Structure formats: structure tokens, C-alpha cells
Chains A and B, each alone.
Chain A
Amino acid sequence: MHAKLSYEDPGWENEVRKICAEVENVDGASMLVLHRLMQDFGYISEPATHLAAELLHLTPPQIFAVATYYHEFRTEKPAETTLMLCRGPACRVGGMVALRKAMEKVLGITVGERTADDKFAIESSGCLGICPHAPAMQIDHDLAGRVTTEDVEHWIAERSGVHA
């Protein structure tokens, strides 16, 4: 899944300025800004942290502390597709072990790793909250429930083909 904007675009600084200007009158806006950076750029780069800190009248460590604390914020460019496995108890007993193994077998990586070509990463997340539909995972920001190993193989094949 590609982000709308890229830090490689020459205009990225202006985009960050725009985002910060929108929350000029909001107290404690660092979370709001970081959410927007995630949404628009896909991750929070170090230069962006510095710029946002300056615009919000904070020190860079103050922003960096927040960016590195919350699970949803990431400070490195994500893989093209992140397969996020649910770590909840219902999924644990509802077939997640088999699902994880199938995924690891197809991709040759385990949870917390990414493929050498940066196409796929497997991560785990706190409970996704769709426990009735265990096993559950998140793929490209969409929740998927009642996931089968066939689904996973299909998604991986589909995405490998597109980017090949």
C-alpha cells in the first residue's frame, strides 16, 4: 500500500507545514500531527520529527518520544505490504498458530521480519477486536476476519504479481 506523499518529494516540508498549521490552535497537538504524517507519508521520518517539533514549539525529543511510544506510529519506511497478525487470545485458540506458520512458510520470514525485497513484512499487533471472526489480521490497513491459509496465500500471490 503506497502512501499519498513521500519524503523524497521536494515539497514534503510544505506538506508538514500545512499539517502543523491546521492544528495551530489545538493544545497538545503532537499526536494529531503524527497521525497525519502516518496517514499521508506512511511513516514518520527523522527530518519530519525535527520540523514538526520546531513548528509545534517543542523539542525534537518530545516529539520523538511520542512517535516511538505508540504502536501505530512507525519511524521507518514500512514494507509495501504489512501482514499484521492479531495477538488476542481468541485468535490464539482460533487458528492463528497455523495461519502464522503458513505465512512464514510462503514468505520465508517470521514475525518481526521483512522480505529482502521490502515487499512483505509480518508483524503482530495487540488485539484487533474482531474476536468473533478469529483468526484475524490486518492487511494494508484493512481488518480481515475468518482468515484461512488459502486467503493468505492468495493475497501474497496477488501482491507479488502486481509488484513483480
Chain B
Amino acid sequence: MTAQYDALVAQAKAALEADTARQVPRISVGISGCSNSVGAERTLSAIREGLARRNVAAIVEEVGCRGICYAEPLVDIEQPGGPRVVYGPISVDRVAELIDSVVVGRDPHSEWALFVVGDQGYAGIPPETEFAYYRGQTRFVMADCGVHDPLSLEQFVADGGFSALHKVLTTLKPEEVIAEVKASGLTGRGGAAFPTGRKWESALAAKGHPKYLIDNGEEGEPAIYKDRRLYEGNPFQVIEGVLINAYAIQADEGYMYIGGEHKVAIERVEKALAILRERGILGKNILGSDFSFNIQVRVGGGSYAAGESSAMMSSIEGRRAMPRPKLVRSTERGVWAMPTCMNNVETHANVPLIINNGAAWFQSLGTPKSKGTKLFAVSGHIKRPGLIEVPMGTTLQTIIDICGGMSTGRPFKAAQPAGVSSAPIAANNLNVEMALETLESIGALLGSGGLVIFDDTVCMVDMNNYLVNFNELESCSRCITCRVGTMRLTDILTRMCNGKGRAGDLEALAWLGPLMEQTTLCGLGQAAPVPAVGAMNIFREEFEAHIHDKRCPAGFCEALVEKRVPVGVS
């Protein structure tokens, strides 16, 4: 036990007791990049003004995102000694009524309520455990997102925060930490799914100082928004994982690389790091131990390629984010040509849980080859889009059910996993388990957990035109086959959407795909043709209809819409 940690726990306990004894209601508003886009900040200021105008005393705090994006903005209200009720959506025009009836009048106002935190219902409002959106989920990594004030060290520590770091620093050798992570079966959550323990092992063995550690939070691929929500909702948890990682590989310096668009995430992480520096949990002699470590924040510039590990290292060095050949592993020669260990934000967020609950606990979640839980960012034609956490191996159908089914009442056509890197999943595979090995067996990828759901009005040719165009715009242009290949793919698919498809186009796609996979330097270039080629194989008839019949069966491609034959006309 270090005296510093003892003091921290005592402070947290005192703060918790003071909070329990408080005589005023507490109002928590979910503030994240996501909720702000639908007015959460306006809701927050309306609440502050409304309380002031009525002279009502209350604690008003910002929390992160619970992943219940479809019902944002969310407002939690907890009367002293009463239950904590989550309300949503609370737009500005609902604030006055919410204050009058719930905060002042103590009416539960159950029609605006989603659930009550905990396992006890209240006034007809279901408890968290029976809340439909949460019921199918297994929330460990995201457990405290949207619950804690993300910048309250006391709340974090009171809930067991930094206990894993303390345990590691005081009782475990670096090799023992790595053994535990290895035994857990944790794999990288950023897309490549490399075994985390093995990466740490080679990073620890690597010679040379300073040794670097990078927390990869660029998250530039389309339709994924999990890392920024973890940063926003529980930055201390991510940082705790980073620090444990740093100790395990005996790193000297760390970078947290955050995508430039993630403004709220950047702000919260910077503030969290400042708090930790001040409290002796970052910098020299962390928690009074012999271990010292510094972290700098680096902000990306909106480049998808920067998420690739060697490209990110170039970016940190102040250069273009262009991947480089990996003749030597970055664990031996990475940023500044020194040993470097890079892990994804979600990977880091899992680490304290593994240290606290043990590798066996982590092993008990998931499938034989994919352990633990996984965050999925579900969007598209789905009733309850948001960010969910389920055990690895949960079926696609179950995920769709958790999210309330199709939003349009139309049939499911396909799901696009892994941003722009995977073939789509068609309706015949709705029961596929979302895990590394099972998705691979149907030619798809888990990636970092993006999942866009399409109904039958989505044209797969148009969608893939869109996805390859993204790859074209984001290609770093180093490899000719990526730079020109993505252009050619876009040309072919654009032509098809415009009714100018030619015989031989599909053969060209089928030829270009493997060529690009074989001749590009980085994973992004290799993956660039995969969605289009995969979609072409699965939805062959739809692609052929565009070329040969100049017809868009989904009715999406405008140039081809008039070619549709109205019902009753032959």
C-alpha cells in the first residue's frame, strides 16, 4: 500500500459520503460530441438558467455518453436519498417542464423517463436491469460512461479506479502483468486484433531508451465512434490502462493521439491528464512508486491514414501521416526510431478490468478465439442507433434486436462492419456471431466495431462507390496501386451508378481487388477494394442489373430510376 493511494481512497470516500448526505438534487447532463450535435449543451445551459431563475439549489454536472444516442440529450435527476432517474430526449423546450415537475414538484414524470439506475424500479419506471436497450448488453468497459463526472477523480477512485494501477505498481513485476494480459486473451480493439500480451512481451524485451507508448485514438474510419466516447465518458479509465501498459513494458514516454475532430474528447483528456499530474498519478514516482511516466497529447488532423500505426508515428514526428514499410517491428523501432508499443483506446480501457477481475474472468466472456466484450457503434436504418457493449460472439441478429430492429419497417438487406475494410454481411448471415474467427469464416471482418445497418432501399453499388471514394480521398498516395487503384474502382462504380456500366467492369473489379491487396504497403490499402469486391460477390445480380439492364433494383441510383418498370405496366 502506498500512502499516496491510501490518501486518494480516503478522499474519495469522504467525497462520496458528503454526496450521500447532500440535501439538494443532483442533475447530470450527458455532454459529448455526439449529444452536443443534438443540443445537449443548450439543454445544460437552459437547466442552469432555469434553476437560477427559480432559485432552486442543485448540483449540476456534466457526464459522458451512455451510448443511448437515439434518446439524446439525456438528463439524470437524483433527489437527495432518492433514485437516479434517466430522462431523454430532453431538448431545450422540455427543460422548464422537467425542472418544475421533477426537480421542484418531485413528480416522477415517467413518460419522459428511460430507466432508474440500479435494479429497483420507481413509479412505473423500469430499473436499468430491465431497460430494453441495456438488457441484452454486458457493460464492463462502458459501465461508468455517462454515470460519473468524467473529470471527478474522487468518483472514479470511489468506484475502484486506479486500484488496478496500484496493484500492479505495488505487487506485480512487469512480466507478471504481461502474463495476466496474455492469459486473458485480449486482442487489439483497433481493427488488426493482434494479441495484446504478445505485443507487450516484445515491447518489454526491446532494447533501447527512451521507450515509447502510444494510445491510438485517431478513429478516422467511417461509422465508428467508440474511442472518442470512452475518452469523453471515462478518460481516467483509459489513462489507467495506458499507465499499466507503460509499467508492463517499462516505457518512458507516452503519446495519446486523438483525432482532430474529437473536440470534447481532446478537452477532457487534457484536463484529466492535468488533474493526474497534479495528484501524483502521472509524472515522477507515480503513486509514490519507483515508476515514472509522462504522457503528451497529440491531435490528428483529420486523416484516416493516421490511424495506421506507422503513419501515426510519422504524424507524431511532425510529418505527413504516411505508412512506412515495416521491415522491423515498431516494438523494436517505432516513433523516433525507438521501441514503441501502440494500442487502441478500447484495448487500454479493458486492461484495468483484467487486472482487477483476473484473466479467468475475461476468458469467461466471448468465444473460443475472441475474448471479452466488444463495443459496437450501430447506425443506419436502425430504431435505436447508439453505442453498445456485448460479449464477443453475440449474433448480428441479437445486436439488431438490442437496437430495436429496423427503423423503416423495411426488410434488412445488409450490414457494413469494419468501416471501409470489410465485405458486407447479407441477410443469410444474420445469425453470424460477431467475433474474429466467425466473421472471417464468412469473408467479413470485425474491425474496430462499426456496424451500419441497411434496409432494402440501399443500393450496394452506390454504397460501395461511396466507400471506395472515401478510400480514394484518404489514400496517402504512396503506393501506386492504392492511389490509382482506388481511383479506378471509383470510376468503375460511378459509371455503373450513372448507367454507363460496361461489360467487363465486374471482371476488372475482381482483378483489381487481389492486385491491390498484394501490392500495397499498409492494411488500409490492402483493405480498400475489399468491401466492393465482397459486395459484388454477394450481390452479383444487383451489380449486373446496373451494367446490363441499366437498372437499380433498390431504386436509389437517380440516373437509373426511370428505368424501373412501374407495377401494373408491362
Residues on A facing B (Cβ under 8 Å): 26-32, 34-35, 62, 65-66, 69-73, 87-90, 92-94, 125-134, 136, 141-146
Contact = CB atoms under 8 A, between A and B. Distances in A.
B146 to A, nearest CB: 14
B384 to A, nearest CB: 9
Nearest to A62: B319
Contact of B380 (A35, A70, A89, A145): A89
Of B303, B304, B315, B379, chain A has the most CB atoms within 10 Å of the CB of B379
A141 B263 CA distance: 10
Contacts of B225: 129-131
Interface in B463-485: 463, 466-467, 470, 473-474
Contacts of B321: 69-70
Nearest to B477: A69
B379 A90 contact: yes
B228 A129 contact: yes
Interface stretch (B130-138, B214-222, B344-352): B214-222
A76 B68 CA distance: 39
B320 A129 contact: no
Nearest to A23: B318
A145 B222 CA distance: 16
B262 interface: yes
Contacts of A128: 261
B452 interface: yes
Interface of B: 33-34, 36-38, 69-70, 72, 219-225, 228, 260-263, 296, 298-304, 306, 315-321, 336, 377-381, 385-386, 416, 452, 454, 457-458, 462-463, 466-467, 470, 473-474
Contact of B416 (A89, A94, A136, A146): A89
B386 A132 contact: yes
Nearest to A86: B222
Contacts of B304: 126
A87 B466 CA distance: 8
Given A93-B454, A143-B37, A72 B260 contact: yes
Contacts of A29: 318
Q: Sort A-B residue pairs by CB-CB distance and give the 7 closest, nearest first.
A: A70-B301, A28-B318, A131-B379, A132-B69, A132-B385, A145-B37, A127-B222
16 contacts: A28-B317, A30-B318, A31-B315, A62-B319, A87-B470, A88-B222, A88-B223, A89-B467, A90-B379, A93-B454, A93-B457, A125-B302, A126-B473, A133-B38, A134-B379, A146-B37
A94 B407 CA distance: 11
A92 B463 contact: yes
Contacts of B473: 87, 126
Q: Which of B222, B228, B298 has most chain A Cβ within 10 Å?
A: B222
Contacts of B262: 129
Contacts of B33: 129-130, 143
Nearest to B469: A87
Nearest to B229: A129
Given A29-B318, A90-B380, A35 B260 contact: yes
Contact of B379 (A87, A132, A144): A132
A126 B380 contact: no
Contacts of A141: 263
B72 to A, nearest CB: 8
B303 A144 contact: no
A8 B385 CA distance: 46
Contacts of B317: 27-28
Contacts of A126: 220, 222, 302, 304, 470, 473-474
A70 B224 contact: no
A94 to B, nearest CB: 7
Contacts of A143: 33, 36-37
B319 A65 contact: yes
A93 B34 contact: no
Contact of A133 (B69, B260, B463): B69
Contact of B381 (A28, A35, A70, A93): A93
Contacts of A90: 223, 379-380, 385, 452
B299 A31 contact: yes
B458 A35 contact: no
Contact of B320 (A35, A65, A72, A131): A65
Contacts of A142: 36-37
